[in-house]
A and B are shown apart, each in its own frame.
Chain A
Amino acid sequence: MKLDVGGKEVFAYTANHELDPAKRTVVFVHGAGLDHSWFGLQSRYFGYHGWNVLAVDLPGHGRSEGPPLTAVPAMADWLVKLLGAAKIERVSLVGHSMGTLVALDCAARHPALVERVALIATAQPMKVSDAFLDAAKRNSYDAFDMSTIWGHAPQVPLGGNPNPGMWMYGDTQARLERLAPGVLYADLKASNDYVFPGGVKRPVLFILGKRDVMTPPRAAKTLQEQIPGAQTVLIDFSGHSLMAEAPDATLDALIKFLQP
């Protein structure tokens, strides 16, 4: 669906359903340089299983008008405005990578809006290497290569894709190539600069890939310590792109957490 947020036209995927005030709502927030379709299978499942789904395209991504936002708190505030535009008052948040920071910030500063938070591939701090940031700042294709290769488990180019016939590296590259110059850098810098304020009181689930190169499970330890009682699901063989590399395991973890 298209929404007006701050005078800009933005897009949120609803799995082909009208929003229903009687239903619970789950919001999916994508990672750096990506869009709503990164959650394709998972968002579609919830949309067809009794939930309102809003898989958003952050400004400057997918079908949402730019420019990109340059700080995680600004993305969280934007998300709150989007929910207002959609007339949604309470949501569960599912974030991936940079989207986990947006979800955490939203839950910390707007607790009345948030029921539960699922963090797929996260870290705090979410340190981005100087080489990666520099390449993105120069709008060099090297940044797309780093995002593609580090964004998947090392075995991905030599292994099979659970989604028949798809080549995960190629799909990631094609998505990144659609970005306007500067968008990936804005995302990476926002992720790199963000400091989690703490104070999240809602149930939190960590879904982490054992072979994640970008945000390895150990990089989530500080965050896990800041959120007592958080649950963790470690997924074998998956790298950073858990929704594509381990779609069923990721979905099963979300179903168990969001539909207790």
Chain B
Amino acid sequence: MAGPKYPGFDTLALHAGQSPDPATGARAVPIYQTTSYVFRDTEHAASLFNMERAGHVYSRISNPTVAVLEERIAALEGGVGAIATASGQAALHLAIATLMDAGSHIVASGSLYGGSHNLLAYTLKRFGIATTFVNPREPDAWKRAIRPETRLLFGETLGNPGLDVLDIPAVAEIAHGIKVPLLVDATFTTPYLMRPFALGADLLYHSATKFLGGHGVAIGGVLVDSGRFDWDASGKFATLTEAYAGFHNMDFAEESGTRAFLLRARREGLRDFGACMAPMTAFQILQGVETLHLRMPRHVESTRTIVKFLAAHPAVAKVIYPELAEHPDHELCKKLLPKGAGAVFSFEIKGGRPAGKAFIEALRVFSHLANVGDAKSLVIHPATTTHYRMSDEDLKKAGITAGTVRLSIGLEDAQDLIDDLDRALKVSQK
């Protein structure tokens, strides 16, 4: 560009969304541990309630500390704005509840986090929202699943736990062809490894609990809107383009074409469902975001080292990581994830369920728990934990077997991790 330039990713990760506190000069983001905010007078109160002035009313709707996190993630993702939520699951629910009513339909990748699968397959079904799950690698399967009432296409940037790389440009084209948005769960990739909006996604969310926080001390989610989807032109989203009696008959798309989704999500979804983020949580996640650009390269570097080690290990039947040439999405990975395919991957241990059990129980550095994206290395057996509610058929579709083990590679000394894995693998084969 001939003119000015944007701040770099690293700078935004440290600064976006926050000026030094005007009251105290505090450089760090202050924790505004307050439920509510004093109005200057009744006129000011009314103006805030009616969206005539910018500001905060009640921390379920917005909070100054949470707003810093929201703006920072929106900046890193290249969106128009964001809403922080109580968890990644709350972010997914908020997106769906903002877009559609009972009678609507979603087409989703079959390779999803178990919690997301539960929400779509069972819970939302009770509320009249149906989902068809498809093989994310088959563009025709996405097309075949579309119905007149389809309102959303949804997948994970890296599927869980088979590490399917979502072909975002292809799926976005399918979504846009029927005038509905593509929502992606970008938890595994973070904005450091991939910016889904640049590839065609319209909405995204993170479980901020994972790499964004990185420390494993806080549960949270962030829902981000690209602002690029034209709700008016679609004509399929009455929640955004028709008068809403629940907020002064506001037509959100008329208020702002680019902000309509976030306006409704905040003014209805946060207000009524209430799954907001606490200010302390936002502060804790911000501490992680400030080093995201330093942590992610190290996560990827150690993962590559460990993948190489496991791929050559005699106790390992198969390693599933998109950077490996035998992975079905290897070429797509090179195209969409040039900085790395993340730090979560799976492998199949020889000996099935008993070997898997012995392996996990022999590990000393890896922690056996239900999380990923921590600074500490983690391990889990999906078939008995995160995905245990799924049928055998659905497990197979998601690329899981009884011997599948999922690792999340942390920031410890890579050789220590290799030694730990090597010892546990030897134990598993006895």
Query: Is B47's CB within 8 Å of the partner chain A?
Result: yes
Query: Is B375's CB within 8 Å of the partner chain A?
Result: no
Query: Is B228's CB within 8 Å of the partner chain A?
Result: yes
Q: Is B12 a contact partner of A157 (Cβ separation < 8 A)?
A: yes
Known: A159-B18, A165-B70. A174 touches B255 (CB 8 A): no
Nearest B residue to A35 by beta-carbon distance?
A: B257
Nearest B residue to A246 by beta-carbon distance?
A: B54
Nearest Cβ on chain A to B248's Cβ, whole angstroms: 7
Nearest B residue to A38 by beta-carbon distance?
A: B256
Q: How far is it, in angstroms, between the C-alpha of A254 and the C-alpha of B384 when the chains are bound?
A: 63
Query: Is B56's CB within 8 Å of the partner chain A?
Result: yes
Q: Is A162 a contact partner of B54 (Cβ separation < 8 A)?
A: yes
Q: How far is it, in angstroms, between the C-alpha of A173 and the C-alpha of B81 when the chains are bound?
A: 12
Q: Is B3 a contact partner of A169 (Cβ separation < 8 A)?
A: no
Nearest Cβ on chain B to A246's Cβ, whole angstroms: 10
Q: Is B81 a contact partner of A157 (Cβ separation < 8 A)?
A: no
Q: Is A145 a contact partner of B81 (Cβ separation < 8 A)?
A: no
Interface core residue of B5, B17, B70 (most chain A CB under 10 Å): B17
Nearest Cβ on chain A to B13's Cβ, whole angstroms: 11
**At the interface with chain A, which of B184-192, B258-266, B415-423?**
B258-266
- Residue in B4, B51, B67, B262 whose CB lies within 8 Å of A145: B4
Q: How many A-B residue pairs have CB under 8 A?
A: 157
Nearest Cβ on chain A to B388's Cβ, whole angstroms: 36
Query: Is B427's CB within 8 Å of the partner chain A?
Result: no
Over the window 157-178 of chain A, the binary record of Cβ atoms lying under 8 Å from chain B Cβ atoms (1 yes, 0 no) is: 1111111111101110111011
Q: How far is it, in angstroms, between the C-alpha of A166 and the C-alpha of B54 when the chains are bound?
A: 11
Q: How far is it, in angstroms, between the C-alpha of A187 and the C-alpha of B17 when the chains are bound?
A: 31
Collect the chain B residues with CB atoms within 8 Å of residue A247's CB: 53-54
Query: Is A200's CB within 8 Å of the partner chain B?
Result: no
- Residue in A132, A145, A171, A251 whose CB lies within 8 Å of B6: A145
Over the window 190-212 of chain B, the binary record of Cβ atoms lying under 8 Å from chain A Cβ atoms (1 yes, 0 no) is: 00000000000000000000000
Q: How far is it, in angstroms, between the C-alpha of A248 and the C-alpha of B51 when the chains are bound?
A: 12
- Residue in A16, A48, A164 whose CB lies within 8 Å of B67: A164
Known: A45-B47, A171-B81. A165 touches B71 (CB 8 A): yes
Q: Is B257 a contact partner of A171 (Cβ separation < 8 A)?
A: no
Over the window 131-154 of chain A, the binary record of Cβ atoms lying under 8 Å from chain B Cβ atoms (1 yes, 0 no) is: 110010000001001100110000
Q: Is A149 a contact partner of B3 (Cβ separation < 8 A)?
A: yes
Over the window 42-55 of chain A, the binary record of Cβ atoms lying under 8 Å from chain B Cβ atoms (1 yes, 0 no) is: 10110010000000
Nearest A residue to B256 by beta-carbon distance?
A: A37
- Residue in B53, B248, B250 whose CB lies within 8 Å of A248: B53
In residues 216-265 of chain B, which contact A (Cβ within 8 Å)? 226-228, 230, 232, 243, 248-251, 254-259, 262
Over the window 72-109 of chain A, the binary record of Cβ atoms lying under 8 Å from chain B Cβ atoms (1 yes, 0 no) is: 00000000000000000000000000000000000000
Nearest Cβ on chain A to B345's Cβ, whole angstroms: 32
Q: Is A158 a contact partner of B16 (Cβ separation < 8 A)?
A: yes
Over the window 43-80 of chain B, the binary record of Cβ atoms lying under 8 Å from chain A Cβ atoms (1 yes, 0 no) is: 00001001111111000001110111011001100111
- Residue in B5, B52, B66 whose CB lies within 8 Å of A44: B52
Q: How far is it, in angstroms, between the C-alpha of A157 and the C-alpha of B78 when the chains are bound?
A: 12
Known: A44-B50, A162-B55. A13 touches B254 (CB 8 A): yes
Q: Is A44 a contact partner of B81 (Cβ separation < 8 A)?
A: no
Q: Is B74 a contact partner of A166 (Cβ separation < 8 A)?
A: yes
Collect the chain A residues with CB atoms within 8 Å of residue B262's CB: 165-166
Query: Is B318's CB within 8 Å of the partner chain A?
Result: no
Query: Is A24's CB within 8 Å of the partner chain B?
Result: no
Q: Is A161 a contact partner of B226 (Cβ separation < 8 A)?
A: no
Collect the chain B residues with CB atoms within 8 Å of residue A63's CB: 232, 254
Collect the chain B residues with CB atoms within 8 Å of residue A16's CB: 243, 248-251
Known: A142-B3, A170-B75. A164 touches B232 (CB 8 A): no
Query: Is B83's CB within 8 Å of the partner chain A?
Result: yes
Q: How far is it, in angstroms, between the C-alpha of A248 and the C-alpha of B48 when the chains are bound?
A: 11
Q: How far is it, in angstroms, between the C-alpha of A42 and the C-alpha of B47 when the chains are bound?
A: 10
Query: Is A40's CB within 8 Å of the partner chain B?
Result: yes
Q: How large is the interface on B (under 10, 10 to 19, 20 to 34, 35 or more residues)?
A: 35 or more
Main secondary structure of the interface of A (DSSP, over half): helix
Collect the chain A residues with CB atoms within 8 Å of residue B3's CB: 129, 131-132, 135, 142, 145-146, 149-150
Collect the chain B residues with CB atoms within 8 Å of residue A166's CB: 71, 74, 80-81, 259, 262
In residues 213-245 of chain A, which contact B (Cβ within 8 Å)? none
Q: How far is it, in angstroms, between the C-alpha of A168 and the C-alpha of B157 when the chains are bound?
A: 26
Query: Is B177's CB within 8 Å of the partner chain A?
Result: no
Collect the chain B residues with CB atoms within 8 Å of residue A42's CB: 52
Q: How far is it, in angstroms, between the C-alpha of A128 and the C-alpha of B4 when the chains are bound?
A: 15
Q: Is A171 a contact partner of B80 (Cβ separation < 8 A)?
A: yes
Q: How far is it, in angstroms, between the C-alpha of A37 and the C-alpha of B259 when the chains are bound?
A: 9
Known: A40-B255, A158-B7. A170 touches B78 (CB 8 A): yes
Q: Is A37 a contact partner of B71 (Cβ separation < 8 A)?
A: no
Q: How far is it, in angstroms, between the C-alpha of A115 and the C-alpha of B175 when the chains are bound?
A: 49
Q: How far is it, in angstroms, between the C-alpha of A63 and the C-alpha of B228 when the chains are bound?
A: 15
Q: How far is it, in angstroms, between the C-alpha of A161 and the C-alpha of B226 when the chains are bound?
A: 17
Q: How far is it, in angstroms, between the C-alpha of A41 and the C-alpha of B175 when the chains are bound?
A: 33
Q: Is B227 a contact partner of A170 (Cβ separation < 8 A)?
A: yes
- Residue in A132, A158, A248 whose CB lies within 8 Å of B11: A158
Q: How far is it, in angstroms, between the C-alpha of A158 and the C-alpha of B7 when the chains are bound?
A: 8
Collect the chain B residues with CB atoms within 8 Å of residue A175's CB: 227, 257-258
Given A37-B256, A149-B5, A171-B227, 15 further pairs, Cβ under 8 A: A13-B255, A37-B255, A41-B51, A45-B47, A142-B1, A142-B3, A145-B1, A157-B6, A160-B19, A160-B67, A164-B266, A165-B74, A166-B74, A166-B81, A177-B228
Cross-chain pairs A/B with CB under 8 angstroms, 28 sampled: A16-B248, A16-B250, A37-B258, A40-B256, A44-B52, A48-B52, A142-B1, A142-B2, A149-B6, A150-B4, A157-B6, A157-B7, A158-B16, A159-B18, A162-B54, A164-B55, A164-B56, A164-B63, A164-B70, A165-B83, A166-B81, A167-B82, A169-B6, A171-B81, A174-B80, A174-B258, A177-B228, A248-B55
